[in-house]
Structure 1
Amino acid sequence: MILSSNVITSKGFLGFFQKKSVEVVAGFDEPAIIPEPAFISKQASLSVESKNDEEIKNEMNEMKRLLQEMRQSVSFSNFPDELKPLLTYLENQGLSKELILQVGNEIFGQMKENKKDFSKEEQLQIAMTVLSKEFSELPFGGITFSRKFINVLGPTGVGKTTTIAKIAARALLEHKKKIGFITTDTYRIAAIEQLRTYANLLQAPVEIAYNSNDFEDAIMKMKDLDLIFIDTAGRNYKEMKFVDDLKRLIDFSLDMESFLVLSVTSKEEDMKTIINRFTSFPVEKFIFTKVDETGSIGPMFNLMRQYKIGTAYYTDGQEVPEDIVEADVDKMLKLLLAGAKHA
């Protein structure tokens, strides 16, 4: 299928096109053998030879990126004008194409069936129903209080220590649990001091684990507590070395709940990279932080849908213990759709 064609005079892809040429963008569903036009064959071979491998690789990556953007672009041309503001809003929120089309098709189908247009409120209600059903099978909600160890994983800069303090404070103040902390973040003095400050305010003990023996000793010292919160090191977990270090340090066979903390201000692809690094860990739910610092929270839903992992909490500020919300589907969807009334 020909998508577009242009007469161009600038150098094109891989240096194939010199002077005045025709650029054609086409797509196909099945693998196909595309014959090479005779009039550019000689230019092509000469142009490729003049480039080094790195230049060719960079140009190929750029072309892949542009094609991916084209594939991800959602077309609303088949939907009535009354529906486009909501769909555009969801697109701006970063919600995946598949989920947006599910919402659009359901609303449009009901409009045709009822032979009338729907108000924004009616559209939002249908959107809530469609998306609620999509995530109904995933687990939501905070710590269960049925396991002794609460392990919080995640890369640097996502707010793990502050998030742990919020959860621990609520366990102490609202549920009257005896709590303690173990930190394995021995790479940053500031992180240890930050946790100690929170622990002092909560009158809870803190142990530092530099290695697996320290970790076992800390567990023994805290054996009489109800809950032990483990603050893991914030590292660049795109590198498998740090993932392996974490496996050697913490005994994941313990009676433990593990949560993966991700900042919603991060790029979705970067969050996917982190999640993929932790697939061998017993991650039960996500914790999303910095919701108040972004206007696009659709990636939270994309990640839950792709990895079949629910959400325990999301945070919307720095105040401890106030700025944390125990997640459920309705709360998260209302957060997603909050601005749609004014779209």
Structure 2
Amino acid sequence: MKVKKIIAPTMAEAMKKVSEELGQDAVILNSRVVRDGGVFGFFTKKKFEVIAALDQSPNTIKQSKTLKPIQKTVEVNNPNEFVPFSFEAPINKPQNDMNQKNQNDQSHLIGEMKELKSMLTTLQKQQNGEEILPPQLENIKDDLFEQDVLPSIIEKIVNEIRPRMALQSNQVSDEQIHSWMKDLILDLISNFDFGHRHDEIKYVNVVGPTGVGKTTTLAKIGAEAVLKYRKKVAFITTDTYRIAAIDQLKTYATILNVPIEVCYNLEDFKAAKEKFLNYDLVLIDTSGRNFRDAIYVEELKKIIDFSELETYLVLAVTSKYKDMRKIFDQFHSIPIKKVVFSKIDETESYGSILNFIVEKQIGVAYLTNGQNVPDDIVEGSPSKIYSILSKEVAYE
């Protein structure tokens, strides 16, 4: 059997190379996304790796006139990974016999491909001088990588779990590994400030780029304070760049029966704060602009007095992680107390949440997962972060 590994920028190009180098009878053993290039593990480029094989033995059954090629898809690695293969079946066989034969062929082929894949992976790592991990630990590493968790965090988790497995001669259940994973991730993030202190904080200011859901998030926090905690709430908005944003917040204020003030400069802001001096909670909205421009942060400081405020940075989980970093770094002159992660429901990758907490050493005030007010918002906590992450990193 001739085995060939193909790496290409797209799956279509990879399949074309397989066809050119091995021919139309080649079998795809495995396909996956790999990362290439970059600096210190970051800014890598996505490529597609395909491992294909061609049976060159003289006993290979050739296609005849009584045989009809049938294309099937076999689940190999996980529920999201499928590999195509072809086999031949006599067209004059009864349908039930054919189905049974196909199922047997598939089961046998799947077993062979899994075994071959494992052998190829181990051989490749040995040739590259890489450390060979137990299969369960390799699965953890792959799952975290698929979640876009940073390589440094993955390495830390793997290095913590491996000696624990070794102490038990690698005879460890998936449940035990799941428990270790949870403890390790919670240890990484539990020392930061999470949630919202409802009885201590009077002024909450939200900032963030355009389209992350700042105004809707502010309305959800206000609704929670009014309906759940019976607080006396008021709104202030400095988002005078968009009339629609002012109207949106005014609509929420009307529904909740709370006052709202529109501020165009620092004097207006100070007057609004004085007006709402006797309120339990004052929520402040800001305009969404291009936060890659540091000048805008300075403009904010001309409108808002950030003293006595608790500022939350709203970030969409759907954003690129490098952009999230850049946005946070632009606020070096403004004290960001916590982060609000929005659009949890619009992605299947949550590694950026863990990355951000660990790298920026900051807690999470709220998590939002939809547009419904007052629903679709929960206070942040280490256990909540882990539960979100573990929806995709499954070991059971």
Q: Structure 1 residues 136, 70: CA separation in 2 closer, same or farther (over 3 Å shift)?
A: closer
SS in structure 1 at match of 2:364: strand
CA distance in 2, matches of 1:231, 1:151: 6
- Determine whether 1:198 maps to 2:169: no
CA distance in 2, matches of 1:164, 1:211: 20
- Opposite residue 228 of structure 2, the aligned amino acid is E
Q: CA deviation at 1:118?
A: 2.1
SS in structure 2 at match of 1:175: coil
Q: Structure 1 residues 70, 307: CA separation in 2 closer, same or farther (over 3 Å shift)?
A: closer
CA distance in 1, matches of 2:176, 2:342: 31
- Determine whether 1:108 maps to 2:162: yes
Q: CA deviation at 1:283?
A: 1.0
CA distance in 1, matches of 2:42, 2:330: 26
CA distance in 1, matches of 2:270, 2:320: 36
Q: Give unpaired runs (5+ residues) of structure 2.
A: 1-35, 45-124
SS in structure 2 at match of 1:68: coil
Within the candidate set 343, 354, 371, 1:301 is matched to 354
Within the candidate set 288, 296, 317, 1:242 is matched to 296
Give the aligned partner of residue 17 of structure 1: none
Deviations for 1:121-174, whole angstroms, at most 9, x for unmatched residues? 221111111111111211111244313211111111110000001111111111
Deviations for 1:171-219, whole angstroms, at most 9, x for unmatched residues? 1111111101000000011111110111111001111001111112212
Q: Structure 1 residues 342, 235: CA separation in 2 closer, same or farther (over 3 Å shift)?
A: same
Give the aligned partner of residue 337 of structure 1: 390
- Determine whether 1:68 maps to 2:39: yes
SS in structure 1 at match of 2:37: helix
CA distance in 2, matches of 1:197, 1:77: 59
Give the aligned partner of residue 148 of structure 1: 202
Aligned 8 A contact 1:120 1:341 in 2: no
Within the candidate set 202, 209, 212, 2:266 is matched to 212
Aligned 8 A contact 2:193 2:362 in 1: yes
CA distance in 2, matches of 1:111, 1:342: 15
Deviations for 1:86-141, whole angstroms, at most 9, x for unmatched residues? 22111111111111112222222111111133222221111111111111211111
Q: CA deviation at 1:342?
A: 6.2
SS in structure 1 at match of 2:236: strand
Give the aligned partner of residue 6 of structure 1: none
Number of equivalenced pairs? 277
Q: Structure 1 residues 165, 70: CA separation in 2 closer, same or farther (over 3 Å shift)?
A: closer
CA distance in 2, matches of 1:71, 1:272: 12
Q: Give unpaired runs (5+ residues) of structure 1.
A: 1-64
Q: Structure 1 residues 70, 303: CA separation in 2 closer, same or farther (over 3 Å shift)?
A: closer
SS in structure 2 at match of 1:138: coil
Q: CA deviation at 1:334?
A: 1.5
Q: Structure 1 residues 162, 70: CA separation in 2 closer, same or farther (over 3 Å shift)?
A: closer
- Determine whether 1:315 maps to 2:368: yes
Within the candidate set 315, 319, 326, 1:262 is matched to 315
CA distance in 2, matches of 1:339, 1:214: 47
SS in structure 2 at match of 1:207: strand
CA distance in 2, matches of 1:261, 1:206: 21
- Determine whether 1:282 maps to 2:253: no
SS in structure 1 at match of 2:318: coil
Within the candidate set 248, 269, 276, 1:222 is matched to 276
Within the candidate set 312, 318, 326, 2:379 is matched to 326
Aligned 8 A contact 2:349 2:392 in 1: no
CA distance in 1, matches of 2:277, 2:40: 53
Q: Which one has the bigger strand percentage?
A: 2
Aligned 8 A contact 2:147 2:392 in 1: no
Q: CA deviation at 1:70?
A: 5.8
- Opposite residue 68 of structure 1, the aligned amino acid is V
RMSD: 1.9
Q: Which one has the bigger helix percentage?
A: 1
- Opposite residue 339 of structure 2, the aligned amino acid is F
Give the aligned partner of residue 238 of structure 2: 184
CA distance in 2, matches of 1:71, 1:219: 44
1:98-137 aligned within 5 A? 98-137=152-191
Deviations for 1:4-26, whole angstroms, at most 9, x for unmatched residues? xxxxxxxxxxxxxxxxxxxxxxx
Aligned 8 A contact 1:82 1:117 in 2: no
Name segments (4+ residues, structure 1) moved above 4 Å: 69-73
- Opposite residue 387 of structure 2, the aligned amino acid is K
- Opposite residue 373 of structure 2, the aligned amino acid is V
- Opposite residue 89 of structure 1, the aligned amino acid is D
Q: Structure 1 residues 256, 70: CA separation in 2 closer, same or farther (over 3 Å shift)?
A: closer
Q: Structure 1 residues 72, 251: CA separation in 2 closer, same or farther (over 3 Å shift)?
A: closer
CA distance in 2, matches of 1:146, 1:154: 23
TM-score by length of 1: 0.77
SS in structure 2 at match of 1:234: coil
CA distance in 2, matches of 1:341, 1:240: 40
- Opposite residue 80 of structure 1, the aligned amino acid is P
Give the aligned partner of residue 49 of structure 1: none
